[in-house]
């Protein structure tokens, strides 16, 4: 969850009273947020030592879906409404003096569809900045960028001093070499390519360069004087930089996600419209799209929803009328009133800054918060169940216990790995029929869901190769493969695997480790002379597997007792030198991996 640091005295001033740390912690709990830290004691201790200090802060954890609480303005407003100190504010769109024909116009070029196709804009008029609310304005943009905007990938925000620009504006996409301007806090002009190089060494901006760097065109905003406003999602222009003397703010957003675009614009406007000369007023902007279509943003209209008093009462265990529930919802910034035609129905108006309200269950949750979770009646459930382990978990515990008794160490690698680790580094080929790939991996380390436990074990050995030899590690966990017959078209399979690393290969060690588990599961080994007749047991069959050294690999064959049923459980052998080189392991290793699920006994599941 995001954490917001707010000035303690300013927040209490907005709330109309002071709170002790315990009192404010309780208020946060009742409202559904959490006080993470109060820095008052640290500030006082530093002051006693004669050190320079800042004002005490409250660090508050905010639910990830409450983007309207990412600044002191949003927190204070929501708490004041919750405490019945004020009613929910009404934010209005106000047209210029000349009416709709005088709206500021932005023209969008067709080329923008290649890079960041969606845009929106708004204007805050006659804003009065202080150092405090100016800092909050900047911090809110940073918080939105890091959270709902997904580090500027889905949405990026640009704010400008409107008085330094000449409308109408244009949103275009140009070749990087055809874009020249002085970026924020710089002294000289750069073109698009030069900016990419200049910001490589600046950590706070370098992490965003990949969003447009490899594109043949970069998005850019211009005014009618060909003055660049911004190069989204990277940097604004120094020319239109806002400061404490700025009175009229032009807000522009570009995005890949149209829904989040509207949410972010509404939140930025509504949180700071209170500082306009006429509080809670926003001037809209006309957008002219390449096909000639015109739209006006932002859309601050509320959304109409309905809720059932019976549903809310059944979920919370209370018995409240529709009018009483409506009063509770008003404390959560939702406009609500009972329906005149249906005594059970509640008509709810969801304001534009509450995008977290998506379903009737969200309305129910807000009603429960306003009522007080600690005040909800406590009742015993009408059903009685007894929990127990899944059979496969019991089986895993047998393996884990026996291997731990044998002196092996259990490890828990991640279930995600890179494509190379799962295939190329193991000398295996991807036939695209088994592996589940992530559509949008955050890094090369987490591209696929593993189809084998061995890569994770080998990475563990690599990171611990400085430890005394031998290194003996094992894991019992799931792999995932594609399965078109399953509901989600994937299937989890419980495997067990182990790796021995020493100055000698130790094939006999992993062989003995496997034999021990078979003995515990009461599965006999099938002798060579009985392979033709035995129906139950296991034996090893030599195979050629590129993961293992030639002539030093075997498949594990299992016969369950059913007629003509013979399963390949897994493999064991000495790992190939190229595999060890890929994982940077300087010592020979032997490995074992097999499927545990065939050893499950037929029967009912615990819940059946």
Looking up tokens 């090893």 gives 540
Q: Give CA–CA dist 217/178, Å, rounded.
A: 9
**Is the per-residue pLDDT at 608 higher than 70?**
no
Query: In the structure, what pLDDT confidence band is assigned to residue 212 with cuts at 50, 70 and 90?
Result: very high
Percent of the chain scored above 70 by pLDDT?
99
Q: Residue 319's pLDDT is what?
A: 92
User: Quick one: average pLDDT of 365-372?
Assistant: 94
If you average pLDDT over residues 387-394, what whole number do you get? Answer: 84
Percent of the chain scoring above 90 in pLDDT: 66
pLDDT for res 203: 84
β-bridge pairing 218-222 and 228-231 = antiparallel
Instruction: Please check whether residue 88 is in contact with residue 81, taking contact to mean a CB–CB distance below 8 angstroms.
Output: yes
Question: How many Å apart are CA 608 and CA 600, to the nearest integer?
Answer: 16
Q: Are 603 and 391 in contact (CB under 8 A)?
A: yes
pLDDT at 602: 58
Cα distances (Å, whole numbers) of residue 350 to 147, 300, 304, 347, 355: 22, 11, 6, 10, 8
Q: Which residues, in sequence order, are CB contacts of 320 under 8 Å at separation 6+? A: 309, 312, 313, 328, 371
Report pLDDT for 564. 65
Average per-residue pLDDT for the chain = 90
605 has pLDDT over 70: no
C-alpha span between 322 and 280 (Å, rounded): 30
pLDDT higher than 70, residue 603: no
For position 228, what pLDDT does the model report? 95
Tens-digit pLDDT profile for residues 312-340 = 999 999 999 999 999 999 999 999 999 99
> Of the given ranges (222-231, 327-336, 358-367, 426-435), which has the lowest mean pLDDT?
426-435
Taking residues 188-192, what's their average pLDDT? 91
* pLDDT on residue 442: 75
Coil, helix or strand at residue 410? strand
Q: What is the pLDDT of residue 9?
A: 93
Banded pLDDT at 354 (limits 50, 70, 90): very high
Asked whether the beta carbons of 208 and 219 are under 8 A apart, the reply is no
Kindly report the pTM of this predicted structure.
0.69
**pLDDT reading at 561 higher than 80:** no
3-state SS assignment for residue 478? strand
Which residues, in sequence order, are CB contacts of 153 under 8 Å at separation 6+?
A: 211, 233, 256
In 3D space, the residue among 456, 453, 418, 479 whose CA is nearest the CA of residue 592 turns out to be 453
Is 60 exceeded by the pLDDT of residue 197?
yes
Q: Report the pLDDT value the prediction gives residue 563, as an integer from 0 to 100.
A: 64
Model confidence band, residue 526 (pLDDT cutoffs 50, 70, 90): confident
- 229-247 burial, b at 16+ Cβ within 10 Å, e below that, comes to bbbbbbbbbebbebeeebb
Instruction: Give pLDDT tens digits for 61-70.
Output: 999 889 999 9
Place of tokens 């002539």: 551
Strands 281-288 and 92-93: parallel
On whether the CB atoms of residues 581 and 589 are closer than 8 A, the answer is: no
The answer, yes or no, to whether residue 88 has pLDDT greater than 90, is no
Give mean pLDDT, residues 405-415.
Answer: 91
pLDDT at 298: 94
Positive or negative CA dihedral for 331, 276, 352, 253? negative
* C-alpha span between 158 and 264 (Å, rounded): 12
Question: 477-480: long-range contacts (C-beta < 8 A, 24 or more apart)?
Answer: 477/412, 477/415, 477/453, 478/415, 479/449, 479/450, 479/451, 479/452, 479/453, 480/415, 480/436, 480/449, 480/450, 480/451
State the average pLDDT over residues 425-430. Answer: 89
pLDDT band at 296 (very low <50, low <70, confident <90, very high): very high
Q: How far is the C-alpha of 200 from the C-alpha of 491, rounded, in Å? A: 42
pLDDT of 256:
93
- Section 427-443 average pLDDT: 85
CA distance linking residue 383 with residue 370, whole number of Å: 29
Out of 103-117, 201-215, 499-513, the most confident range is 103-117
Question: Is the CB of residue 344 less than 8 Å from the CB of residue 302?
Answer: no
Q: Is the pLDDT of residue 269 over 80?
A: yes
Is it the case that residue 486 has pLDDT exceeding 80? yes
The pLDDT of 126-138, averaged and rounded, is 92
Q: What is the reported pLDDT for 278? A: 92
Q: Is the pLDDT of residue 31 over 70?
A: yes
Q: Is the pLDDT of residue 606 over 60?
A: no
Q: Is the pLDDT confidence value at 154 over 90?
A: yes
36 cis-preceded (ω within 30 degrees of 0)? no
Residues near 366 by Cβ (< 8 Å), separated by ≥ 6?
328, 329, 332, 334, 357
Residue 129 has pLDDT above 60, yes or no: yes
**Lowest-confidence segment of 51-55, 126-130, 183-187, 419-423 by average pLDDT:** 51-55
Is there a contact between 233 and 211 (Cβ–Cβ < 8 Å)? yes
Q: Which residue from 411, 402, 388 is spatially nearest to 521, judged by alpha carbons?
A: 402
């Amino acid at each position: 969850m995001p954490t917001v640091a707010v000035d303690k005295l300013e927040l209490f001033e907005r709330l109309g009273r002071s709170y002790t740390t315990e009192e404010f912690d309780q208020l946060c709990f009742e409202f559904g947020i959490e006080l993470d830290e109060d820095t008052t004691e640290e500030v006082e201790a530093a002051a006693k030592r004669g050190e320079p200090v800042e004002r005490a802060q409250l660090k508050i954890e905010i639910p990830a879906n409450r983007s309207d609480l990412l600044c002191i303005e949003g927190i204070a407003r929501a708490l004041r409404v919750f405490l019945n100190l004020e009613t929910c504010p009404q934010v209005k769109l106000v047209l210029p003096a000349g009416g709709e024909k005088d709206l500021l116009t932005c023209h969008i070029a067709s080329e923008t569809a290649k890079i960041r196709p969606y845009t929106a804009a708004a204007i805050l008029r006659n804003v009065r900045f202080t150092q405090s609310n100016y800092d909050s304005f900047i911090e809110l943009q940073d918080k939105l960028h890091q959270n709902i905007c997904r580090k500027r990938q889905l949405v990026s925000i640009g704010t400008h001093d409107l008085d330094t620009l000449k409308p109408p504006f244009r949103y275009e996409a140009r070749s990087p070499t055809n874009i020249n301007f002085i970026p924020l806090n710089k002294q000289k002009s750069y073109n698009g390519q030069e900016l990419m190089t200049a910001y490589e060494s600046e950590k706070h901006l370098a992490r965003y360069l990949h969003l447009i760097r490899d594109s043949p065109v970069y998005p850019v905003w211009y005014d009618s004087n060909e003055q660049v406003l911004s190069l989204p999602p990277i940097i604004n222009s120094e020319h239109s930089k806002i400061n404490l003397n700025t009175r009229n703010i032009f807000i522009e957003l570009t995005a890949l996600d149209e829904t989040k675009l509207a949410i972010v614009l509404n939140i930025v406007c509504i949180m700071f419209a209170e500082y306009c000369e006429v509080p809670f007023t926003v001037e809209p902007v006309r957008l002219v799209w390449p096909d000639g279509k015109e739209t006006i943003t932002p859309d601050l209209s509320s959304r109409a929803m309905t809720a059932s008093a019976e549903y809310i009462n059944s979920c919370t265990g209370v018995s409240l009328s529709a009018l009483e529930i409506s009063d509770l919802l008003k404390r959560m910034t939702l406009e609500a009133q009972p329906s005149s035609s249906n005594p059970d129905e509640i008509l709810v108006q969801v304001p534009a800054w509450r995008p977290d309200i998506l379903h009737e269950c969200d309305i129910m949750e807000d009603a429960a918060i306003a009522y007080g979770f600690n005040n909800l009646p406590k009742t015993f459930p009408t059903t009685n169940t007894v929990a127990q382990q899944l059979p496969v978990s019991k089986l895993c515990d047998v393996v884990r216990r026996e291997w731990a008794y044998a002196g092996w160490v259990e490890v828990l690698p991640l279930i995600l790995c890179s494509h190379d680790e799962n295939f190329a580094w193991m000398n295996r080929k991807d036939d695209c029929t088994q592996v589940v790939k992530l559509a949008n991996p955050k890094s090369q380390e987490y591209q696929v869901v593993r189809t084998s436990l061995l890569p994770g074990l080998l990475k563990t050995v690599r990171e611990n190769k400085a430890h005394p030899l031998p290194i003996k590690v094992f894991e019992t966990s799931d792999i995932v493969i594609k399965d078109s017959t399953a509901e989600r078209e994937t299937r989890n399979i419980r495997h067990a695997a182990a790796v021995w690393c020493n100055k000698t290969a130790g094939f006999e060690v992993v062989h003995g480790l496997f034999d021990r588990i078979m003995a515990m599961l009461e599965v006999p080994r099938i002798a060579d002379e009985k392979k033709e007749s035995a129906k139950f047991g296991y034996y090893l069959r030599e195979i050629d597997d590129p993961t293992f050294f030639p002539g030093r690999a075997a498949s594990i064959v299992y016969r369950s007792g059913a007629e003509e049923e013979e399963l390949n459980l897994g493999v064991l052998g000495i790992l190939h030198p190229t595999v060890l080189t890929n994982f940077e392991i300087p010592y020979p290793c032997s490995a074992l991996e097999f499927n545990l699920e065939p050893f499950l006994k037929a029967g009912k599941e615990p819940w059946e």
